Amino acid sequence: MKTRITRAFQCSAVLAAAGLLLSACGSSGDDGSGQTGATSFEGRGPITFVAGKDTTGTLQPLLDRWNKLHPKEKVTFIQLPTDADAQRQQMIQNAETKSDAYTVLYLDVVWTSEFAAHRWIDQLPEKQFPLDKMLKPVVETAKYRDGLYAAPSTSDGGMLYYRTDLLKKAGITQPPATWAEMKSACAKVKKLPEAKDMSCYAGQFQKYEGLTVNFSEAVNSAGGTVTDANGKPDVDTAEAKKGLDFLVDSVKDGTIPKEGITYQEEDSRQAFQSGKLVFLRNWPYVYSLAGKSEIAGKYAVAPLPGLNGPGSSSLGGHNLALSSFAKNKATAVDFMKFYTSEESANYFLKEAALAPPYTALYDDQALVKQYPYLPVLKESILRAVPRPRVVQYGDVTAAIQQEAYAALNGSKSSAQALKNLQKDLQQKYAAQ
């Protein structure tokens, strides 16, 4: 591990070794929250960390670092599938059986309300996390009814990856800001002999959480909305139809390759890296991995395009939550502080291009020089539209996935899909 993870971590190690509790390092049983809701955490010993597959390979080295400093409070990594829906299912199953197998959950930002409302995760002591140093929209994703239920860890904002070498060769000087510009840039690039077999664009269009993300982005980027923050739908509109039509027409006319409707994040990353795509919508982690691929040095990022100008991303990311059924919660809270510290965020940024919650890291000029995607990413996160913050999020996303997919695979017109979706979401909203 190149980045040094030092002071904050040693601090808790020294205290633990001396058998001391709390103080400057902010440790252990005192919740320090000044709130009535936050639990007092007790128990030290082994814990588990539960997250989707570690595609960037940077997670285990950080856990190793913790384990070295805390030999009596070791954390074991439980890896779940890459697919967000499958992760959610397994975490819910663990909660419903009140199992203590999972301690700290790497919770997708869209699940906070559901997990908090069911009391599957504990309220956290707010004052023990440096929330005032973090981007506001990111902190909001960790809250439910004004209480903090997760420690902001990794944010995520969608960006448009593009092939700088091919655009330049085709005489295009700027990345596209609109969907029409993107299509015309592709037409020019595809005239190059080396690009004739390439496809123009892909995102994540398989029927899973990624489709909810990409569908919502298309709707928002055409001036529409899917729901408001409380889940009240307004999706049967001319604007939303323009957004969905962009995706549907792009599948029909081959702008998005046929297999594009089977892609999750990793499939689309592989397609871009192996030279099959001119443009790709994906999260920042691709920036780092693509740099180790055959297109290294031949890509850059721009804001997502939209109908009449730059579009907006769905707000993504993951926070650390504490399972209500876990043992050794004092250790867990210390581990959460370690994992979500600015130092760890710096490590994940440098090693894996994961989006930090900390504002200062986006504004550090030395970092920006080295990681030129940072300003685009910051803008993407600040302008991002959150998915509905509702307790029944699982039902809402399932309805979106079903109708958006039916439109993409041509089994329903986009007008019909939006009509059905509005009705479905309205019923769920009324039943809340």
Nearest CB to ligand GLC, comparing residues 283 and 325: 283
- Among 24-32, 66-74, 145-153, 310-318, the segment contacting ligand GLC (CB under 6 A): 310-318
Query: Rounded to whole angstroms, how far apart are CA atoms 66 and 69?
Result: 5
Site for ligand GLC in 403-432 (CB under 6 A): none
State yes or no: residue 349 binds ligand GLC (CB under 6 A). no
Cα–Cα distance for residue pair 3/343, rounded to 1 Å: 9
- C-beta of 215 vs 371, nearer to ligand GLC: 215
Per-residue binding string, ligand GLC, 142-181, x by CB under 6 A, is: --------------x-------------------------
Which residues ranging from 20 to 59 are in contact with ligand GLC (CB under 6 A)? none
84 lies in the binding site for ligand GLC (CB under 6 A)? yes
Complex with ligand GLC: residue 285 or 335, whichever CB lies closer: 285
The residue range among 73-81, 108-116, 162-170, 179-187 that interacts with ligand GLC, by the rule CB under 6 A, is 108-116
Instruction: Return d(Cα 216, Cα 388) in angstroms, integer.
Output: 10
Q: Which is nearer to ligand GLC, 215 or 325 (CB)?
A: 215
Smallest distance from ligand GLC to CB 37, Å: 25
Compare residues 285 and 325 and give the one whose CB is closer to ligand GLC.
285
Interacting positions 218-277 with ligand GLC (CB under 6 A): 265
- Tell me the β-bridge partners of 49: 77, 104
DSSP letter string over 300-351? EEEPPBBSSSB--PBEEEEEEEEBTT-S-HHHHHHHHHHHTSHHHHHHHHHH
406 C-beta neighbours (distance < 10 Å), count: 18
Alpha-carbon distances, residue 280 vs 68, 159, 201, 286, 312 (angstroms)? 39, 8, 5, 10, 15
- State CA 23 to chain mean position distance: 33
- Contact pick of 137, 176, 203, 210 for ligand GLC (by CB under 6 A): 210
Instruction: Supply φ then ψ for residue 110, to 5 degrees.
Output: -85, -5
Each residue 313-332 as x (binds ligand GLC by CB under 6 A) or -, in order, gives ---xxx--------------
Collapsing DSSP to helix, strand or coil, 144 comes out as strand
C-alpha closest to that of 82 among 193, 204, 220? 204
Closer residue to ligand GLC, CB minimum distance, 100 or 266:
266
Are the beta carbons of 58 and 87 closer than 8 angstroms?
no
Q: What H or E segment, with its residue span, contains residue 168?
A: helix 164-169
Phi, psi of 197 (to 5 degrees): -95, 5
Stretch binding ligand GLC (CB under 6 A), from 27-35, 37-45, 102-110, 321-329: 102-110
- In whole angstroms, the minimum distance from the beta carbon of 82 to ligand GLC comes to 8
* Site of interaction with ligand GLC (CB under 6 A): 84, 108-110, 156, 204, 209-210, 213, 265, 283, 316-318
